[in-house]
Amino acid sequence: MTDQRQNAIALVTRYYDAFNRGDVEGMLACLAEDVVHDVNQGGQRKGKALFRQFCEHMARCYKEHLDDLVIMASDDGRHAAASFTVNGQYLKTDEGLPPARGQTYRLPAGGFLDIADGAITRVATHYNLNDWIAQVEGRG
C-alpha cells in the first residue's frame, strides 16, 4: 500500500470517527477551508462555515451512528470512498420531510471524498431518500 493511500485512509477514518463521536470540530479539522459539500439530493455548499451549519442542523434533527464502515482510497491518495450503514433516530421534523416522532432507521449509505494537501476538499454522501422516508413513515 502506498504512503499516499495509507494517509488518505487514515484521514477519512479520523473524519468518520469524529462523526461517530458527534465531534463537529474533529470533522472540521479534517477538511480544507474551501471544502465542497455535495448534499445528498440537495445543493452544494462551499467552505467550513456552511459545513458547520449543516452539521449543527443535522444534530438538531437526527442522531446518527455509522456502522460497517469500509474505507477505500486510490493509490495516489487523491480520492477515497466509504461504505457504511447509518443507524439513526429522527429527533426533530426537518423541513419538507415527514414529521419526526423519534423514529429509528437503518440505511445503507456511501461517501465519496477528494483529498489534497492532507485535507478533505470534497465530501459527497449518498443514500436512498425514498428508503429513509418509508422507514420513518412506518412503511419500510
Question: In this structure, what C-alpha cell is assigned to residue 86?
Answer: 447509518
- Whole-prediction pTM value? 0.95
pLDDT of residue 36: 98
SS3 at position 3: helix
- Looking at beta carbons, which pairs linking 26-35 to residues 24 or more positions away fall under 8 Å? 27/51, 27/55, 28/52, 30/119, 30/120, 31/119, 31/120, 31/121, 31/123, 32/116, 32/117, 32/119, 32/120, 32/121, 34/121, 35/119, 35/120, 35/121, 35/122, 35/123
Task: Express each pLDDT in 38-51 by its tens digit.
Answer: 998 788 999 999 99
| Nearest-angstrom CA–CA distance, 43 and 20 | 24
Q: Which domain holds residue 68?
A: 3-136
Share of the chain above pLDDT 90, in %: 93
Between strands 31-38 and 62-73, the pairing is unpaired
Output the domain CATH number for residue 22: 3.10.450.50
| Nearest-angstrom CA–CA distance, 77 and 86 | 25
Cα-based distances in Å from 21 to 17, 52, 68, 95, 117: 6, 15, 16, 25, 25
Question: In this structure, what C-alpha cell is assigned to residue 130?
Answer: 425514498
pLDDT of residue 42: 80
Count of structural domains, the chain: 1
| Nearest-angstrom CA–CA distance, 122 and 104 | 29
Task: Express each pLDDT in 48-69 by its tens digit.
Answer: 999 999 999 999 999 999 999 9
